[in-house]
Every structure is written in C-alpha cells, then in structure tokens.
C-alpha cells in the first residue's frame, strides 16, 4: 500500500475527533494537502455518505483542488471519476461523492447534502462573507452517520488578522471548535529557498501571519507603516526625456498623480501633482510640465467607466487621446494587495527599501504616506483626504511591482509512478 506521510500538524488536524477542527498555518505549510487527505480518509471511513470541499474561487477548485485529489487518489490506487462543470463532483466507486463548490458563489451552496466537509482558505473571505458561507455549509452538512457520530467540517487557512476564524476558533471557541496552528517551517517538503523568497516579497509585519501562522493585527496604526521619510528619501530627479511612470487617482476637483522614474529596475517618486480639477486639467499640467518625456499612466481602473468631465468620454479614453500609454487592467487589485505591494516596496522583511521618494519634491505624498491610518472597519481611512496621493502611487506600484506569492511547487514527486 503506497503511503502518505503527513507532517505533525497535518496529522493532528486530519485525525482530530472534534466536529470543527481548524488548521491555521503559514503559506506552504501543507494546508491544502491536509484538507485533501482529510477529505479522502473521511470518504473511505463513511462509504455511501457525501462530502463537500470548498475553495474561495472556482479557479482554485479547478487548478488546486482537483489536481491534488487526482494525484492522491491515484497514488492510493483508489478508482474515481471526476465530473467537471457543471456537475463538479468526484465520485468514488460505491463510496458516494465529494461535491466541490466555490465560496465566491454562496448562492450555489444549495441543493445537495453531505455528512462532512472541508473548507480551504476560509479566512481570506471578508468577515461577513466568511460567516455567511460558514452558515450555508453548516446547513448542507446534515446527512446522518450510521454510527451516530457528529457531522464535521474542517477548515484549513492562513490567519488573516482578527476576523471570522480568529473569533470562532481562537477568541471564544464553542465546544467542538479546535484550532491547530503551525508555521510554514513545519512542512519539510517545500522547495529550498521558499521561505527566504517570502522575505523578499512581504514586509516583516505580515510574515508573523504568513510564515508563523499567528493571528496579528494586519490593519492597526498607519497604512504605509514601512515608509520612512528619512530612510526612503532620495534626491533623484527625472532626466531630460526620461520615461515617466505616473500613478493616477481620479476624484472630481481633487485629482492626484505621483510621477516616477525607474532606476536599476526600482521605482523612484520624483514629483507629485495634487488637487487638480479634472482629467483634462491634469493632462494639460502633465503635458506642460513634462514636455519631451515618454509618459505611461497607471490609473485607477474604474476610470474606464468614470467620467470626471462629460458623459461621453471616460477618463481613461481622455488619457489615451492625450497620447499617453495607459497601463491598466480591467479591474483594480484588491486594496489589501495594493497596500501590501506598497509596504513591501518601501521595506521588505529583509530590510531592503526598493521604493524611494524624493520627499522635497513630493511633500504631500510623503505626508500622506506617514499619516494615513486604518479606520475602525480595518480599511484605509478616507475621511481625512490623506488617501488620494497614496492611492495614485499605489496604482503604479501594484501594477509594476505586484505581490506574486511563490508557488510551493511539487517537490515530492517521489513515490509516484
């Protein structure tokens, strides 16, 4: 019989007798692997009953969950059939089904029932959405077990601050709720250099959560806490004709732009334009001040539909008509991803400060970076007017220097045919 060798926290999680065990652990610690193993072992223990398996998005079901199930079922020599969209379940011969659903379509968590379930990355959902999805999964989880044991739901997730998983499993857990926390380093099967590469990518404050698996307040104090007006300062200015990269935020009567150059691959803020009436006025100012430069604009993606001037031409169309290269995706990255990209560019966990700001030339940008705080809902505060310039700079940084979490990879092909 081919063997599966779980790590210690995976073993504790998979064999937990509690109704609602949660493995809360760092990136790459083997959470998804544990979820798949718990699902398959539970399936074999209760042939004839169904299970549910939940990922945050359908893409994750397709690209993460199914390949893992196929690999492990094959390794364990368990015959199965994978029925993809629209059915979305794995049928194990004579042993019932495992239903797959994505949590971003909670309306589709309906019309089936199971005895047990596994939920991957629950805490990456917003607080309210996580609570809603959890209730829906609980209500699917009602098939009666022949041995009279309780229905169970297991959760595997990174800790995302003091949100649903913290409140439910850590702060005041009710009976049956058990938490198993683990650091990334508990998984010996990661490729060499994986943990080190996370230190390049993330600021120190996030690694307590993402490497150690601890709940930490991700939204306390100032938003851009890694920015230092001394340590990130530079006297670099743009050279004649140099390619300029302009992050831009649209606000009627209060548009902002932060002007950058790229030196040795790293971003440098060399100027700012704030408090501008509308997009045409902004275009005029840029053309006037930066004549002779090649200009790329990195705007707020919602400017594709927004019109600060008239109802017929969008802000993005105006920028293109002005002859600027417009670098924008169909939608903005999440605020959290944009802020993380900024914080990491100002200072990563290795103390490297890639993003420099000419503070003398960008006085408002620097002041906003120092002062903008989180509001009581854990979102960057927008009531003090300190959000516009950092948003502008952030659209450029998030587009050109995004956070790309490294793939944990498949080091352990060993044992497979």
| Footprint on this chain of Mg ion (rule: CB under 5 A) | 31-32
Is the CB of residue 256 less than 8 Å from the CB of residue 273?
yes
348 binds ligand ATP (CB under 6 A): no
In the complex, minimum distance from the CB of residue 158 to ligand ATP, in angstroms, rounded to a whole number = 6
Residue 5 contact among Mg ion, ligand ATP, none, beta carbon within 5 to 8 Å by kind: ligand ATP
Token output for 353: 């400060």
Q: Contact with ligand ATP (CB under 6 A): which of 7, 219, 344, 372?
A: 7
Selected binder of ligand ATP within 21, 22, 31, 257 (CB under 6 A): 31
Nearest distance, CB of residue 101 and Mg ion, angstroms? 17
From the list ligand ATP, Mg ion, none, pick the one residue 196 interacts with, judged by a Cβ distance below 5 to 8 Å according to partner type: none
Helices (H), ranges, 81-189: 127-140, 164-165
In the complex, the smallest distance separating the C-beta of residue 112 from ligand ATP, rounded to whole angstroms, is: 25
Residue 33 binds ligand ATP (CB under 6 A): yes
Least distance (Å) between residue 258 CB and ligand ATP: 32
- Looking at 9, 14, 29, 100, which residue binds ligand ATP (CB under 6 A)? 29
**Sheet containing strand 244-249, strands side by side:** 325-326, 295-299, 244-249, 255-263, 266-276, 356-357
CB-based contact 172:230 (threshold 8 Å)? no
Which residue in 209, 206, 188, 210 sits closest to 9, CA to CA? 188
Per partner kind, with CB cut-offs from 5 to 8 A, the member of ligand ATP, Mg ion, none near residue 27 is ligand ATP
Q: State how far the alpha carbon of 282 is from the alpha carbons of 246, 258, 288, 292, in Å.
A: 11, 12, 10, 17
Q: Using CB distances below 5 to 8 A depending on partner kind, what does residue 157 bind out of Mg ion, ligand ATP, none?
A: none
CB closer to ligand ATP out of 166 and 374: 166
Site for ligand ATP in 139-168 (CB under 6 A): 158
Please report how close the Cβ of residue 109 comes to ligand ATP at its closest, in angstroms. Answer: 21
DSSP label at residue 106: G
Residue 19 CB, nearest approach to ligand ATP (Å): 22
Question: Does 5 participate in binding ligand ATP (rule CB under 6 A)?
Answer: yes
Q: Please count the other Cβ atoms lying within 10 Å of the Cβ belonging to residue 222.
A: 16
Going by DSSP bridges, is the β-strand pair 244-249/255-263 parallel, antiparallel, or unpaired? antiparallel
Binding mask 383-412 for ligand ATP (x = CB under 6 A): -------------------------xxxxx
Cβ 38 vs Cβ 193: under 8 Å = no
The interface mask with ligand ATP, positions 277-306, x = CB under 6 A, is ------------------------------
Q: Minimum distance from CB of 133 to ligand ATP (Å)? A: 18
CB of residue 75 to ligand ATP, shortest distance in Å: 10
Rank residues 10 and 97 by Cβ distance to ligand ATP and give the closer one: 10
**Minimum Å distance from CB 267 to ligand ATP?**
27
Q: Kindly state the number of chain residues that form the binding site for ligand ATP, as judged by CB under 6 A.
A: 20
* CA dist 14 → 18, 35, 244, 390 (Å): 10, 8, 53, 44
Between CA 338 and CA 349 the distance in angstroms is 17
CB neighbour burial string for 153-182, b if at least 16 within 10 angstroms, e if fewer: bbbbbbbbbbbbbbebbbeeeeeebbbbbb
User: With respect to ligand ATP, which residue has the nearer C-beta, 105 or 410?
Assistant: 410
Q: DSSP string spanning 338-389?
A: HHHHHHHHH--TT-----EE-TTT-HHHHHHHHH-BB-TTSSB--SSS-SHH
DSSP string, 165-214: HIIIIIISPPTTEEEEEE-GGG-TTSPTTHHHHHHHHS-HHHHHHHTT--
For ligand ATP, the closer of residues 75 and 306 by Cβ is 75
Q: Which residues, numbered 182-221, are part of the site for ligand ATP (CB under 6 A)?
A: 187, 189-190
- Contact set with ligand ATP (CB under 6 A): 5-7, 10, 27-33, 158, 187, 189-190, 408-412
């Amino acid at each position: 019989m081919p063997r599966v060798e779980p790590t210690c926290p995976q073993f504790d999680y998979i064999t937990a007798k509690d109704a609602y065990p949660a493995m809360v652990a760092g990136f790459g610690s083997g959470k998804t692997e544990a979820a798949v193993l718990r699902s398959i072992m539970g399936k074999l223990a209760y042939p004839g009953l169904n299970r549910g398996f939940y990922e945050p998005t359908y893409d994750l079901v397709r690209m993460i969950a199914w390949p893992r199930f196929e690999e492990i079922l094959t390794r364990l020599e368990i015959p199965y059939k994978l029925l993809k969209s629209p059915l979305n379940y794995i049928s194990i011969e004579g042993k019932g089904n495992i239903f797959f659903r994505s949590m971003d379509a909670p309306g589709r968590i309906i019309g089936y029932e199971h005895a047990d379930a596994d939920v991957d990355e629950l805490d990456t959902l917003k607080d309210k959405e996580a609570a809603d999805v959890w209730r829906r999964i609980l209500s699917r989880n009602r098939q009666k077990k022949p041995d009279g044991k309780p229905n169970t739901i297991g959760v595997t997730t990174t800790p995302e601050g003091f949100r649903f998983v913290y409140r439910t499993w850590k702060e005041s857990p009710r009976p049956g709720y058990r938490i198993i926390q683990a650091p990334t380093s508990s998984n010996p099967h990661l490729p060499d250099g994986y943990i080190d590469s996370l230190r390049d990518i993330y600021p120190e404050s996030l690694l307590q959560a993402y490497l150690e698996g601890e709940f930490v307040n991700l939204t306390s104090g100032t938003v851009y806490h890694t920015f230092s007006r001394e340590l990130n300062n530079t006297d670099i200015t743009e050279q004649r004709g140099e390619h300029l990269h302009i992050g831009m935020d649209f606000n009627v009567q209060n548009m902002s732009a932060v002007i950058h150059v790229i030196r040795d691959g790293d971003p440098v803020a060399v100027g700012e334009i704030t408090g501008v009436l509308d997009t045409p006025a902004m275009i005029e100012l840029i053309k006037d001040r930066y004549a002779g430069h090649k200009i790329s604009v990195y705007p707020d993606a919602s400017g594709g539909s927004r019109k600060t001037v008239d109802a017929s031409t969008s802000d993005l169309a105006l920028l293109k008509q002005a002859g600027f290269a417009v670098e924008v995706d169909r939608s903005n990255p999440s605020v959290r991803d944009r802020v993380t990209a900024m914080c990491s560019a100002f200072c990563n966990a290795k103390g490297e400060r890639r993003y420099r700001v000419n503070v003398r030339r960008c006085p408002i940008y620097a002041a906003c970076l120092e002062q903008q705080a989180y509001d009581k809902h854990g979102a960057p505060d927008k009531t003090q007017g300190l959000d516009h310039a950092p948003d502008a700079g952030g659209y450029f940084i998030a587009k050109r220097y995004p956070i790309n979490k490294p793939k944990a990879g498949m080091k352990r092909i060993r044992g497979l045919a």
